[in-house]
Amino acid sequence: MAKSKNSTVFFCQNCGYESAKWLGQCPGCKQWNSFVEEPVSSSKTASKKNRIPGQEKKPALLSEISLQEEDRITTGMAELDRVLGGGIVEGSLTLVGGDPGIGKSTLLLQVCRNLALGGHEVLYISGEESLKQIKLRANRIGEFNEKLRLYCETSLEEIEEVIKRNKPKVVIIDSVQTMYREDISSAPGSVSQVREATSVLLQLAKGLNVSVFIVGHVTKEGTVAGPRVLEHMVDTVLYFEGDRNASYRILRGVKNRFGSTNEIGVFEMAQEGLREVPNPSEFMLSGKPLDASGSVVVCSMEGTRPILIEIQALVCQSNFGIPRRQCIGTDFNRVNLLMAVLEKRVGLQMANCDAYVNIAGGLKIQEPATDLGIVMAIVSSFKNRPIDNGVIAFGEVGLSGEVRAVSMVQSRVQEAKKLGFSTCIIPYVCLESVKEIKGIQIIGVKNVAEVMDLQM
């Protein structure tokens, strides 16, 4: 349907849902009060834009397409390379999202530094900070060489010009929410502007074969359009997450056209920028109390990587009629379900107990393999009986109290062995797959009642 030239539409600033009239709640993402009125961009921009430049105009046979090993540029940071699937692909468009202040600019400036030291031409375009501010940040990070150029600009026409003139290998756009096109009348940061900016950058990346990183802020208030509205346009989406108060940061791949998703990279924010954490398990377990009840170590998979985490539980007598239940870092309903299983299948009387479950270190874990750990931590706290420090457990717990199989048992057990654990409690059905691993005691359990009978 052709819209008249000066009509307006309403966009959800969270997910980009488009509506002809204002809505209180977005039907797409269920956010409240996220609709903002924006003028419709003139239709001449839309149609021609969506073609990938440099491509043949006629359909091709799959067998005719020649494929050489894509050239990947290493970022100089193994954690980031892993999330990207082995390095930066030429001509790719990568979105780096995250809360303001989490460290996106820092990470990308460090990447710039490494790439420049590797002899690649890099252009860092900032619409948020002045050259002086970038210099201050750069001074904390370290020495830079001549291959990196900085440019403060928010007009897309100018940026396009500069990229075409300088032909860098890698371009950083910090951030997409500050970029604007003059011929679109809505404000920078609105859905139309952010989409248009990304589409211009996509053309540039594919057309000139430069790799482009764009930074996108995630905002809960919805004052600027979130990166969610661009996820479908870019090749790779990375989200930077982590507690602002904790020093570590996790970089998570949620979409990757050139590699696997679900990979994570772990970083630590230090005085001189972000530092890689090659062994997150050690990092997560540092500070674990010895011989304290209600604490147990579990192994969770983050992509292909096993990470050991401490689960803590505190169960105590409730002083009010309705017991309090609270969870940090794990699913509240899951914990309630597991407590109900314990009451019904093992006969623990916890109906008048408060219960608090915490994933130490501030990680958020949804994997069902942590069920067994949560159950053990709750029982340990309830009975005030510490679990041996050399024990690690994982397994999914079902409603009848059975301990069910989980994936990648071998790598989990290997990780536990590597970090010096002596006993591994795993689902009974998984015993077969790990019988070759020596040097660690492996106990298979069929249900939660069996776990309770173990002498630990």
Using CB under 5 A, list all residues that contact Mg ion. 105
CB of residue 240 vs ligand TYD: minimum separation in angstroms?
7
CB of 105 to ligand TYD, least distance (A): 3
> Locate tokens 């993402």: which residue?
29
Piece of 10-18, 154-162, 268-276, 303-311 that binds ligand TYD (CB under 6 A): 268-276
Minimum CB separation from Mg ion for residue 196, in Å? 21
In the list 34, 41, 92, 105, the residue contacting ligand TYD (rule: CB under 6 A) is 105
Chain centroid offset of residue 402 CA: 32
CB-nearest residue to Mg ion:
105
The residue from 104, 169, 249, 404 that contacts ligand TYD (CB under 6 A) is: 104
Helix 191-208 and helix 156-166, axial crossing angle in degrees, nearest 10: 10
Position among 23, 162, 218, 269 found at the interface with ligand TYD (CB under 6 A) = 269
Closest CA to 453 of 398, 394, 376: 376
Pull the structure tokens for residue 163.
Answer: 């990229």
Residue 102 interacts, among ligand TYD, Mg ion, none and using kind-specific CB cut-offs from 5 to 8 Å, with ligand TYD
- Measured from the CB atom, the residue of 148 and 426 that comes closer to ligand TYD is 148
51 binds, among Mg ion, ligand TYD, none (CB under 5 to 8 A by kind): none
User: Which lies closer to ligand TYD via its Cβ, residue 177 or residue 203?
Assistant: 177
Question: Which stretch in 75-83, 96-104, 193-201, 410-418 sits in contact with ligand TYD by CB under 6 A?
Answer: 96-104
Q: Which is nearer to ligand TYD, 174 or 310 (CB)?
A: 174
DSSP string, 273-335: EEEE-S-HHHHHHTTPPSS-TTEEEEEEEETTEEEEEEEEEEEEE-SSSSPPEEEESS-HHHH
Tell the residue number behind the tokens 């860092």, with chain if given. Answer: 124
Question: Are 236 and 256 contacting, i.e. CB atoms less than 8 angstroms apart?
Answer: yes
What is the token pair recorded at 108?
């990308």
CB 388 within 8 A of CB 420: no
53 binds ligand TYD per the rule CB under 6 A: no
Q: Return the range that interacts with ligand TYD (CB under 6 A); candidates 271-279, 336-344, 410-418, 423-431.
A: 271-279
User: Per CB under 6 A, does 98 bind ligand TYD?
Assistant: yes
Selection from 318, 435, 430, 328 nearest residue 377 by Cα: 328
Query: CB of 135: closest distance to ligand TYD in angstroms?
Result: 12
Q: Which string of b and e fits 124-148 if b means at least 16 CB within 10 Å?
A: bbbbbbeeeebeeebeeeeebeebb
Is 272 a binder of ligand TYD (CB under 6 A)?
yes
Q: What count of other Cβ atoms lies within 10 Å of the Cβ of residue 450?
A: 16
CA distance 406 to 394: 8
CB of 191 closer than 8 Å to CB of 38:
yes
Q: Which of 106, 192, 281, 300 is in the footprint of ligand TYD by CB under 6 A?
A: 106
Residue 134 beta carbon to Mg ion: minimum distance, rounded to whole angstroms: 10
Please give the angle made by the CA atoms of 227, 159 and 93, to the nearest 5 degrees.
Answer: 40
Number of residues that bind ligand TYD (CB under 6 A): 14
User: Residue 269 binds which one of Mg ion, ligand TYD, none, with CB within 5 to 8 A depending on kind?
Assistant: ligand TYD
Q: Which of 88, 102, 116, 375 binds ligand TYD (CB under 6 A)?
A: 102
- Closest Cα partner for 141 from 119, 159, 116? 116
User: Residue 106 binds what, of ligand TYD, Mg ion, none (CB under 5 to 8 Å, by partner type)?
Assistant: ligand TYD
Measured from the CB of residue 121, what is the shortest distance to Mg ion in angstroms? Answer: 22
**Pick 34 or 105: Cβ nearer Mg ion:** 105
**Residues from 128 through 157 that contact ligand TYD (CB under 6 A):** 137, 140
Least separation in angstroms between residue 128's CB and Mg ion is 6
Q: How far is CA 65 from CA 56, 59, 62, 90, 346, in A?
A: 11, 11, 6, 18, 62
The β-bridge relationship of strands 236-241 and 211-217 is: unpaired
Binding residues for ligand TYD, rule: CB under 6 A, are 98, 100-106, 137, 140, 269, 271-273
